[in-house]
A = this chain, B = another copy of it.
Amino acid sequence: MANIKDIARLAGVSVTTVSRVINGHPYVRDDKKAAVLRAMEETNYERNINAVHLIKGKTNLIGVMVPSIKRPYFGLVVEGIAEEALKGNYKLVLIQTNYEEQREQEALMMLKLKQIDALIICSKISDWDIVEEYAAYGPIIAFEDARGRNVSSIFIDHYKGFMEALAYLNGKGHRKVGYCLARKSGTSSKQREAAYRDFLKSSGEPFDPDCAFYDAIHFEDGEWIVQRLMTMQDPPTALLVTSDQVAAGILACCNERELDVPSKLAIVSFDNQPIARTLNITTFEIPLTEIGRDLFRKVMTKEFFQQEIPVRLIERLTV
């Protein structure tokens, strides 16, 4: 296999020149650079494809930092990103972090080391200060509220969205509202829980921990939620559910047990996935796949960009 010396001989330049080309050194004459690249190609200088990437300044790899793609919420965002990547023939490097700072750092380092052309952060736990620092090395966009920060972002104000939903149910006469969240420690869950507590405070109602249902993620979680509701002495009259999948599961189990929706239990969910339309579930739209597509498109422009996506109530038959 060819090494740097062979390339140098073939290109008629010094080893130093080859190494300069490989290292993207600015002071290399164009004709020499061209000769080196041609020699690399001719000798099938394969193991250093990464060096070639460095020269071109492009890897065609886009990093996606995501806690875990098993969470449908992130799965849908990644689907949107993947759709755009497929169109543009980009490959995605999935860096799953499980919300561990060390792993988030690894994703940021990949950008710094030019192993990826850009980084999309679906959710993170690291400080914005750290993200801002790395934003100097290449395009970063986050699906988190980065207002006041020098990081591009497309985001949902989950606090505001939850407040809107609570006000909507309150307006419909519901005084005791339960809520189903995914991971208690997730960024959006924290915002939503804060909204819930603030809403109770402003309406002078006490907080009942029994009204909180955590780790409600999949359709099948509807089963235990309905079971728990049915054992409660004073159950909530309405549920705020942060995923249409879970809401659909709850609805299916209510139908099975002849617990009438909405007269006995009103259900409002989030996202407006197709299943919500099919089952006529009242929901607040968060276009996750669309957002994924936008994250990809915007990070590719390399321009600073911040946009809040408003949630939008879609009234159907479950309230």
- What residues make up the interface of A, taking CB atoms closer than 8 Å to B? 1, 3-5, 15-16, 18-20, 22-25, 46-51, 53-54, 61, 68-70, 75, 78-79, 82-83, 85-86, 89, 91-96, 98, 103, 106, 112-115, 218-220, 222-223, 249, 252-253, 255, 274-275, 277-279
Contact = CB atoms under 8 A, between A and B. Distances in A.
Contact of A68 (B22, B61, B82): B82
Contact of A95 (B54, B91, B103, B113): B91
Contacts of A222: 278
Given A23-B47, A47-B54, A220-B278, A85 B96 contact: yes
Given A23-B48, A47-B23, A114-B47, A274 B91 contact: no
8 contacts: A22-B48, A70-B79, A86-B96, A89-B103, A91-B93, A92-B93, A220-B277, A252-B278
How many copies of the polypeptide does the oligomer hold?
Answer: 2
A194 B277 CA distance: 35
Contacts of A54: 47-48, 50
B86 A68 contact: yes
A29 B130 CA distance: 40
Nearest to A276: B220
Contacts of A16: 4-5, 15
Contacts of A46: 112-113
B15 A3 contact: no
B98 A69 contact: no
B19 A15 contact: yes
Contact of A50 (B20, B51, B112): B51
A65 to B, nearest CB: 10
Given A4-B19, A20-B3, A49-B115, A278 B93 contact: no
Contacts of A75: 75, 79
Nearest to A14: B15
Given A19-B5, A252-B279, A83 B70 contact: yes
A61 B70 CA distance: 19
A32 to B, nearest CB: 15
B115 A86 contact: no
A267 to B, nearest CB: 15
B15 A93 contact: no
A249 B278 contact: yes
Q: Across chains A and B, which 6 residue pairs bring their CB atoms closest together, nearest first?
A: A50-B50, A4-B19, A220-B274, A92-B94, A86-B96, A49-B113
Nearest to A279: B252
A18 to B, nearest CB: 8
Contact of A24 (B47, B91, B112, B275): B47
A244 to B, nearest CB: 10
A98 B275 CA distance: 25
